C-alpha cells in the first residue's frame, strides 16, 4: 500500500487538517414531510476558508438521509425554493413511473415556489439516493443530492455501525466558491465537469472514531457529476455485499472498487488497524492515495475478527429467464472530443458537427442527439429486453436505466450482478438484459451529467 496523505487541492487551496462533523439531520414529524430545494451555505473547504454557497435539499449538503423499511411508502412534498425549475429523481428505486421525477418525460419540471407530492413504495432494500432531474449538470454540481436508505425488514447484517458516505467532487475557486462555467463545451465534449475538491458527506475530512475489530456497514454513493472513483481501504478488511442497492449472491472480498457516477456499493468491513492507528477509505488518484474517510482506532470491540458475513437476503426482482426470444435493441454511443460523430439527427434533420456543438449537442445515441420521439425499445409488460451497448467514443460512460435493474450478459453467456448503472470503457461493447415488468416510460442515459445534457439520452416504453 502506498502512503496515505490528506487530500490536497490542485487549484490553490493548501493542505488541510482536522475533521469536520457531519451535519445534523433534522427530523420533522408532520405528514407529508417537506423536502425543500433551496440555497444554503456549507463549510466544504477547511475552516480557514469561507463557507461555500450551495443549493441543497433543506439547504444542506448532503440533503437529509431518507430512511424507510422495505415495502413501505415514502411521502415527501418537494418544494422548489430555487430560481429555476427542478424535480426529484429517486435513483435506483423500481418506482411507479409517475414518481420517477424526470422533467419532460414523467412530469413537468416543478417551477420556482411550486411544489410536487412524491408518494411511492420502496420494493427493494438497499442503498439508493435522490437528486434533481432537470438541469442536473448544474443543480447536482451545486449540491442537490441526498441518500435514500431502504432497510431490510428484519435480518439486516449484524454490524456495530452503519455509515452512509456520499462521495462528491466540486469545482471550487481559490475562495472556496463554486466555480462557474456550467455549460462549458470543453467539459461537455470531454470527461464532463471534473472537480478539484472532494468531500464525503459535505465534509473536507470526514472522520469517525471506531474500536478495533468493530464491524461496519459502509454505504458508498458516488454523487459526482462525472468523476469515476477508484477506491481501496487500509486497516479495513471485508467484502462488497451489494452493488447499486442489490445484494450480491456471494459477497466479494474488498480489494479495489471502481465507483462510477451514480453507482453505489455496500461494504461490510472489519477494523483491522491497531489501536492508536487510523483506518482509511482511500481514493487512488494518479499521484497516490488520498484519504476520503478516516477511522481513528480507539479501544477494541472484541478480541478477534468476526466470521465472514452471510449474503444479504435478495430483493424481489423478477428473475431473468432464458434470453432466446427476448426483445432486442442496439445502442451505439457516439460523439465527444476525439470521437467519430459526423453529424446527427437533431430535431429530425441532419445537422453538421459544428452546428451541433453550437447548441451543445456533442453526443448521440444511434445518430440522435437528445431525446428521440420514439423509444429505443417498446416492450410489453413481462417481456425480456436485451440491449447491446456499443461505446464508439473515446470516453468512458456510466449508463443508467431508470425504473429497472439489469444484468450484464457476458460474451460467454455469464450473468453479472443486478445493477442500475453500468460503467463502459471506451470502445467497449456490453450487453444488458432485464425483465421489463415495470410499466411506463423509462430514461436510459449517461450519468456523466454533461454527456447526458450533451445528447446521450434515450428512453424505453413498457406497456
Give the footprint of Cu ion on this chain (CB under 5 A): 397, 446, 448, 451
Q: Are 147 and 66 in contact (CB under 8 A)?
A: yes
Residue number, 80 or 391, with CB nearest to Cu ion? 391
The 3-state DSSP class for residue 9 equals coil
DSSP track, 430-462: EEEEEEE-S-EEEEEEESSHHHHHTT-EEEEEE
Comparing C-alpha atoms, which of 391, 399, 396, 398 is closest to residue 334? 391
Whether residue 62 is preceded by a cis peptide bond, meaning omega within 30 degrees of 0, is: yes
| Long-range contacts formed by 252-255: CB under 8 A, 24+ apart | none
With b for 16 or more beta-carbon neighbours within 10 A and e for fewer, the 25-41 pattern comes to eeeeeeeeeebbbbebe
| Dihedral pair phi/psi, residue 9, rounded to 5° | -85, 135
Give 362 or 448: the residue with its C-beta nearer to Cu ion.
Answer: 448
Distance in Å, CB of 456 to Cu ion, minimum: 6
CA dihedral 391, 397, 401, 404 (to 10 degrees): 100
Instruction: Please report how close the Cβ of residue 399 comes to Cu ion at its closest, in angstroms.
Output: 8
Which residue, 215 or 445, has its beta carbon nearer to Cu ion? 445
Q: Nearer to Cu ion by C-beta: 228 or 292?
A: 228
Min CB(419)–Cu ion separation in Å: 16
DSSP letter, residue 308: P
192 versus 235: smaller Cβ distance to Cu ion: 192
Q: Which is nearer to Cu ion, 190 or 397 (CB)?
A: 397
> Considering only CA atoms, which of 129, 293, 124, 88 is closest in space to residue 222?
129
Closer CB to Cu ion, residue 193 or residue 386?
193
Report the nearest approach of Cu ion to the CB of residue 28 (Å).
37
- State the nearest-atom distance from the C-beta of 363 to Cu ion, in Å: 7
> Cβ of residue 230: shortest distance to Cu ion, in angstroms?
17
Find, among 130, 166, 125, 148, the residue nearest to 405 by Cα: 125
Q: What's the closest the beta carbon of residue 397 comes to Cu ion, in angstroms? A: 3
Phi and psi torsions of 441, nearest 5°: -100, 120
- C-beta of 190: minimal distance to Cu ion in Å? 10
**Residue written as cell 425543500?**
36
Quote the cell numbers at residue 219.
454505504
Helix (H) or strand (E) holding 353: helix 353-358
**For Cu ion, the closer CB: 271 or 453:** 453
What stretch of H or E contains 186? helix 185-189
Least distance in Å: CB of 112 to Cu ion? 29
User: CB-wise, 291 or 446, nearer to Cu ion?
Assistant: 446
165 sits in the region (left: phi over 0; alpha: psi -120 to 50; else beta) called beta
Among 202, 216, 201, 203, which residue's Cα sits nearest to residue 295? 216
Q: How far is the CB of 312 from Cu ion (least distance, A)?
A: 30
Instruction: Give me the count of residues in the chain.
Output: 463
46 vs 336, which CB is nearer to Cu ion? 336
Amino acid at each position: 500500500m502506498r502512503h496515505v496523505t490528506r487530500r490536497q487541492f490542485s487549484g490553490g487551496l493548501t493542505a488541510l487538517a482536522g475533521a469536520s462533523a457531519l451535519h445534523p439531520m433534522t427530523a420533522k414529524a408532520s405528514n407529508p414531510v417537506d423536502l425543500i430545494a433551496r440555497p444554503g451555505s456549507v463549510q466544504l473547504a477547511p475552516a480557514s476558508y469561507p463557507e461555500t454557497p450551495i443549493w441543497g435539499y433543506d439547504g444542506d449538503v448532503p440533503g437529509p438521509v431518507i430512511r424507510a423499511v422495505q415495502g413501505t411508502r415514502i411521502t415527501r412534498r418537494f418544494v422548489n425554493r430555487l430560481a429555476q425549475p427542478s424535480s426529484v429523481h429517486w435513483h435506483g428505486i423500481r418506482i411507479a413511473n409517475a414518481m420517477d421525477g424526470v422533467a419532460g418525460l414523467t412530469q413537468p419540471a416543478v417551477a420556482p415556489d411550486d411544489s410536487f407530492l412524491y408518494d411511492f413504495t420502496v420494493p427493494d432494500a438497499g442503498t439508493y439516493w435522490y437528486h434533481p432531474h432537470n438541469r442536473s449538470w448544474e443543480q447536482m454540481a451545486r449540491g442537490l443530492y441526498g441518500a435514500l436508505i431502504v432497510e431490510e425488514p428484519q435480518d439486516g447484517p449484524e454490524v456495530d455501525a452503519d455509515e452512509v458516505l456520499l462521495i462528491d467532487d466540486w469545482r471550487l475557486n481559490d475562495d472556496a466558491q463554486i466555480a462557474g462555467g456550467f455549460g462549458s463545451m470543453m467539459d461537455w465534449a470531454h470527461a464532463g465537469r471534473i472537480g478539484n475538491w472532494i468531500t464525503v458527506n459535505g465534509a473536507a475530512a470526514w472522520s469517525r472514531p471506531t474500536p478495533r475489530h468493530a464491524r461496519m456497514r459502509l454505504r458508498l454513493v458516488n454523487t459526482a457529476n462525472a468523476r469515476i472513483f477508484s477506491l481501496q481501504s487500509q486497516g479495513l478488511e471485508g467484502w462488497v455485499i451489494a452493488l447499486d442497492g442489490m445484494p450480491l449472491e456471494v459477497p466479494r472480498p474488498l480489494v479495489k472498487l471502481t465507483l462510477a457516477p451514480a453507482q453505489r456499493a455496500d461494504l461490510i468491513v472489519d477494523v483491522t488497524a491497531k489501536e492508536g492507528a487510523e483506518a482509511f477509505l482511500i481514493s487512488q488518484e494518479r499521484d497516490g492515495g488520498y484519504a476520503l474517510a478516516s477511522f481513528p482506532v480507539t479501544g477494541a470491540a472484541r478480541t478477534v475478527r468476526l466470521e465472514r458475513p452471510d449474503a444479504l437476503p435478495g430483493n424481489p426482482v423478477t428473475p431473468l429467464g432464458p434470453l432466446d426470444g427476448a426483445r432486442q435493441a442496439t445502442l451505439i454511443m457516439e460523439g465527444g472530443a476525439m470521437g467519430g460523430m459526423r453529424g446527427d439527427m437533431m430535431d429530425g434533420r441532419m445537422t453538421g458537427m459544428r452546428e451541433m456543438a453550437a447548441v451543445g449537442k456533442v453526443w448521440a445515441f444511434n445518430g440522435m442527439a437528445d431525446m428521440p420521439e420514439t423509444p429505443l425499445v417498446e416492450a410489453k409488460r413481462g417481456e425480456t429486453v436485451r440491449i447491446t451497448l456499443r461505446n464508439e467514443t473515446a470516453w468512458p460512460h456510466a449508463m443508467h436505466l431508470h425504473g429497472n435493474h439489469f444484468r450484464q450478459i457476458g460474451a460467454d453467456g455469464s450473468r453479472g450482478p443486478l445493477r442500475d448503472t453500468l460503467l463502459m470503457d471506451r470502445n467497449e461493447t456490453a450487453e444488458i438484459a432485464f425483465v421489463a415488468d415495470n410499466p411506463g416510460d423509462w430514461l436510459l442515459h449517461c450519468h456523466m451529467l454533461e454527456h447526458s445534457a450533451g445528447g446521450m439520452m434515450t428512453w424505453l416504453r413498457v406497456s
